[in-house]
């Protein structure tokens, strides 16, 4: 599933191409993509508008058009945005044709991706306010902020990181990587982390996301760049997908278990398992 670095990779590639262009045609081939909004309604709101800029919030790709009209794309499980894909490209659900001839195709084999509309900045802010917490690469994601989020929370720290309403954009891969970098076991109760641990985790989340962006994201499933290239971050995973291999720090064996309902990878020498969960092994 694309996480923040994968969406940011797409954004960085496409932003210079779409900023300032006019959306010549919006073709919705799968009405489920924008439901409950009808494809015609979406088209009427967007066609002929100038795209001011392409930005990102959490895992959302935000197409900001003139007059404060926003198209909010979420890639979900398998979505990709392809640049000038052949007409025969499979799984295309939406096509956006620009006035300079470029065509962006939203390809999505499992059809979980969504397109939503926000009219006006207040509507956009309200949309995100109910769905997304702090932006982890923004100025507000301080150790203090993360510390406040963890107070009195009995949920495992990994579940808290995955909760988009608390920290936006972090998914399973980057949560696994960040917790390893911080030396914190994914099953630790969030409220038991001390200030030093939270500060380390904040830095580890930022470092993991930035490493993912620098590598062009991770292509372990369907994720591809708009030009079809793969990201390289899967070659740099410290723990994700590496159960049975040696920990790069201590040489111990990396293990896999389930936390927050997701496949979780850790070194239980570097990331000490909380006492309360030990007898369940």
Q: Which is nearer to Zn ion, 18 or 175 (CB)?
A: 175
Subset of 170-199 contacting Zn ion (CB under 5 A): none
Q: Do 66 and 49 touch, CB atoms closer than 8 A?
A: yes
Cα–Cα distance measured from residue 18 to residue 152, given in angstroms and rounded to the nearest whole number: 44
Residue of 249, 258, 261, 278 interacting with Zn ion (CB under 5 A): 249
**Catalytic residue of the set 56, 59, 93, 166:** 59
38 belongs to the binding site for Zn ion (CB under 5 A): no
* Structure tokens given for 195: 């200030």
> Is residue 162 within the footprint of Zn ion (CB under 5 A)?
no
269 binds Zn ion (CB under 5 A): yes
- Asked about 144 being catalytic, the answer comes back as no
Q: Does 272 bind Zn ion (CB under 5 A)?
A: no
Reply yes or no on whether 131 is catalytic: no
Q: Is the dihedral of CA 236, 242, 244, 248 positive or negative?
A: positive
Label residues 92-131 b or e (16+ Cβ within 10 Å = b).
bbbbbbbeeeebbbbbbeeeebbbbbbeeeeebeebbeee
Q: Is 267 in the site for Zn ion (CB under 5 A)?
A: yes
In a 3-state reduction of DSSP, which class is residue 54?
strand
Q: Is 247 in the site for Zn ion (CB under 5 A)?
A: yes
Calpha distance 54→16 (Å, rounded): 8
Least distance CB 245 / Zn ion (angstroms): 11
Shorter beta-carbon distance to Zn ion: residue 256 or 269:
269
Residues with active-site annotation: 2-3, 59, 262
């Amino acid at each position: 599933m694309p996480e923040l670095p994968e969406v940011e990779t797409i954004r960085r590639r496409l932003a210079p191409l779409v900023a300032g262009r006019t959306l010549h045609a919006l073709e919705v081939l799968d009405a489920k993509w924008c439901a409950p909004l009808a494809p015609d309604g979406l088209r009427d709101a967007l066609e002929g508008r100038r795209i001011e800029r392409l930005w990102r919030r959490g895992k959302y790709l935000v197409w900001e058009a003139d007059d404060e009209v926003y198209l909010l794309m979420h890639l979900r499980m398998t979505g990709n945005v392809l640049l000038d894909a052949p007409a025969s490209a499979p799984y295309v659900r939406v096509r956006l044709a620009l006035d300079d001839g470029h065509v962006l195709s939203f390809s999505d084999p499992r059809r979980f991706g969504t397109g939503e509309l926000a009219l006006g900045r207040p509507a956009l802010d309200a949309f995100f306010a109910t769905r997304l917490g702090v932006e982890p690469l923004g100025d507000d994601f301080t150790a203090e902020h993360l510390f406040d989020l963890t107070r009195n929370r009995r949920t495992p720290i990994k579940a808290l990181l995955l909760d988009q309403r608390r920290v936006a954009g972090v998914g399973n891969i980057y949560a696994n990587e960040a917790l390893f970098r911080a030396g914190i076991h994914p099953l630790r109760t969030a409220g038991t982390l001390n200030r030093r641990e939270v500060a380390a985790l904040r830095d580890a989340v930022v470092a993991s996301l930035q490493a993912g962006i620098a590598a062009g994201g991770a292509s372990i499933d369907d994720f591809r760049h708009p030009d079809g290239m793969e990201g390289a971050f899967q070659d740099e995973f410290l723990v994700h997908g590496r159960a049975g291999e040696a920990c790069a720090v201590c040489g111990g064996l990396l293990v896999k278990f389930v936390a927050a309902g997701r496949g979780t990878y850790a070194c239980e020498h570097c990331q000490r398992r909380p006492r309360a969960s030990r007898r369940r092994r």
